[in-house]
A and B are shown apart, each in its own frame.
Chain A
């Protein structure tokens, strides 16, 4: 009987933390810390892998897009709309009172200086991620002549800004850079 009890009673009698307790606590904490550290690589493996990250930027030839036309391309497995705006569309976008917008931004803020006719946006509705219509020929462009998301009826204008419908923000403009007059690098 004595065998079983000694360890327990000794601890119970002594209120403070003694050397033996300290060692036990240290050992358990160490094991716990090890277990937590192990979790990191086990979770981190779910992050994008090196080959996925390597595709993070693409170069697109835009020489074939005529004024008023637009193309869909894919970047990081997401649709990208590249639109060559007409002069009227630019004027229309600039005529809007920015302060009245849900997500106030001017067309200039959304395009590269000197290349305001090139509107490059993600083709992903900021509401729930559908692909809006309006990029391909013959598709509905919505009430504001830009893009229209058929899922829940979000209307975007010619600067791809949200004007009507449930989407909270404008279509996202990805980081892009004109390498030359005809080649744009996205990402």
Chain B
């Protein structure tokens, strides 16, 4: 009985799937899907490497500080970094006093309640504060940016397929639209053509428009490419500050497990030695 019902249900599901397949295939052949311009003109992220790549990767603190400088002087005007606290900057090589100074002099103040009046107010930031947001909320951010809300950058390299190379490609990928780009995909007013962006047109104007927009204190030449790379490296850190710890711990655990597993395997072999020997003996007899 179970089998008869089963076969009937099976025939129904499989049959209808085959019919659906047939109808879909007919549609596919008679009316093949056309490749969209978003697909045709879209480019995969450039091949760029960072010192933090791979299982042995470590941050280049000098580069992270340069990247932080780019964030601070270029990106921070529109993009928040709300999950990073000033105190975290000690992890990229600033000392306590430098962090205090960075926090106190940050162009945007931390919102707080005025201790005397109880009114909403702002105060200078301290090391324990998270980096203050440039806009109070999404509505304010949208209103100031032509309704395109600048995303928070704290996790951006983990929150985008392609990670840091994608961010780097986006920053360096602005170009004039190709001549054969369909009219519908031409950048409208306030949009900028960038083939690394999923729908090709981006509301963000090229942020790193010219070389030497920042002047690095360590003497590195601030080319557009260098700034894009540095800020991408900084954003790898902001998204995954524990990356170095993770790599180190991983190797230690791996080394331990390798030895433990080899020992466990040898133990397994000795325990089974008798059974295996008996099996061999009997096989030989047979």
Chain A residues near B (Cβ < 8 Å): 2-3, 6-7, 10, 19-20, 23-24, 26-28, 30-31, 34, 37, 50-51, 54-55
Given known contacts A30-B260, A31-B264, is B274 in contact with A10 (CB within 8 Å)?
A: yes
> Smallest CB–CB gap between B4 and chain A, Å?
46
Q: Are B263 and A27 interface neighbours, CB within 8 A?
A: yes
Q: Are B266 and A27 interface neighbours, CB within 8 A?
A: yes
Q: Are B274 and A23 interface neighbours, CB within 8 A?
A: no
> Ordered nearest first, which 5 A-B pairs have the shortest CB separation?
A27-B267, A54-B128, A20-B270, A6-B274, A27-B263
- Contact among A19, A27, A50 for B264, CB-based, below 8 A: A27
Q: Are B264 and A3 interface neighbours, CB within 8 A?
A: no
- Contact among B87, B271, B278 for A2, CB-based, below 8 A: B278
Q: Are A23 and B278 interface neighbours, CB within 8 A?
A: no
Asked whether B40 is an interface residue with its Cβ less than 8 Å from the other chain, the reply is no
The 8 A CB mask of B258-285 against A (1 = contact, 0 = none) is: 0110011011001101110010000000
A50 to B241 alpha-carbon distance, docked (Å):
13
Q: Are B263 and A55 interface neighbours, CB within 8 A?
A: no
Q: Are B263 and A54 interface neighbours, CB within 8 A?
A: no
Closest residue of B by beta carbon distance from A57: B128
A51 to B83 alpha-carbon distance, docked (Å):
11
Q: Taking chain B's interface residues, is the majority helix, strand, or loop, or is none over half, making it mixed? A: helix
Complex interface: chain A residues within 8 A of B257 (CB) = 34
A3 to B281 alpha-carbon distance, docked (Å):
12
A107 to B177 alpha-carbon distance, docked (Å):
78
A19 to B278 alpha-carbon distance, docked (Å):
20
Q: Are A7 and B266 interface neighbours, CB within 8 A?
A: no
Asked whether B28 is an interface residue with its Cβ less than 8 Å from the other chain, the reply is no
| Docked complex: B224-270 residues within 8 A CB-CB of A | 256-257, 259-260, 263-264, 266-267, 270
> Smallest CB–CB gap between A30 and chain B, Å?
4
A185 to B260 alpha-carbon distance, docked (Å):
51
A31 to B260 alpha-carbon distance, docked (Å):
7
Q: Are B274 and A7 interface neighbours, CB within 8 A?
A: yes
| Docked complex: B101-133 residues within 8 A CB-CB of A | 127-128
Given known contacts A3-B275, A6-B274, A24-B271, is B259 in contact with A54 (CB within 8 Å)?
A: no
List 11 A-B pairs, Cβ < 8 Å. Answer: A6-B275, A7-B271, A20-B270, A23-B266, A24-B270, A27-B260, A30-B260, A34-B256, A34-B257, A54-B85, A54-B127
A37 to B274 alpha-carbon distance, docked (Å):
34
Closest residue of A by beta carbon distance from B268: A27
> Smallest CB–CB gap between B21 and chain A, Å?
50
Known contacts A6-B274, A26-B267, A50-B87; 4 further A-B pairs (Cβ under 8 A):
A7-B271, A10-B274, A23-B263, A34-B260
Given known contacts A54-B85, A54-B87, is B260 in contact with A23 (CB within 8 Å)?
A: no
Q: Are A51 and B267 interface neighbours, CB within 8 A?
A: no
Please indicate which of the listed interface residues A23, A27, A34 has the most CB atoms of chain B within 10 Å of its own CB: A27
A27 to B278 alpha-carbon distance, docked (Å):
25
Closest residue of B by beta carbon distance from A19: B270
Q: Are B259 and A30 interface neighbours, CB within 8 A?
A: yes
Complex interface: chain A residues within 8 A of B85 (CB) = 51, 54
A19 to B270 alpha-carbon distance, docked (Å):
9
Closest residue of B by beta carbon distance from A64: B116
A151 to B127 alpha-carbon distance, docked (Å):
38
> Smallest CB–CB gap between A72 and chain B, Å?
13
A96 to B20 alpha-carbon distance, docked (Å):
97
Q: Are B128 and A55 interface neighbours, CB within 8 A?
A: yes
Complex interface: chain A residues within 8 A of B278 (CB) = 2-3, 6
